[in-house]
Amino acid sequence: MELTMTTFDKREQGFEAKFVHDEELMFKATARSNKLLGLWAATQLGLSGDAAAGYATALVTDHLENHSMDEILDKVAGDLAAKGVAREQVAARLQECMHQALQQLEADQ
């Protein structure tokens, strides 16, 4: 007996594939934006070279360990508070980093 896919089955597979693609894209964009935010924050903290890279990598790792974006913002804002950088400024920079990360990922495709 030959099985044929209905239009509904094909549409369902298409939606599933798009969902997986979108989830993967958001995962990559979030990791990249956290790294960009970390590099920016490291500069604000006067870090450079390996120390700056380590700070940025730690933000990516923290998010992978199920820390929410609010927790990431709280950490960076806490680190930058002594430098006079408000949480709102960090949140705005994170939005810029996400936009930049999405543009970079689209350019990579």
Q: How would residue 82 be classed by pLDDT, with cut points 50, 70 and 90?
A: very high
pLDDT per position as a tens digit, 59-79: 999 878 877 889 999 999 999
Q: What is the pTM of this model?
A: 0.80
Domain ranges of the chain: 32-108
Concatenated DSSP letters of the chain = ------HHHHHHHHHHHHHHHHHHHHHHHHHHHHHHHHHHHHHHTT--HHHHHHHHHHHHHHHHTT--HHHHHHHHHHHHGGGT--HHHHHHHHHHHHHHHHHHHHHH-
pLDDT in tens, 95-104: 999 999 999 9
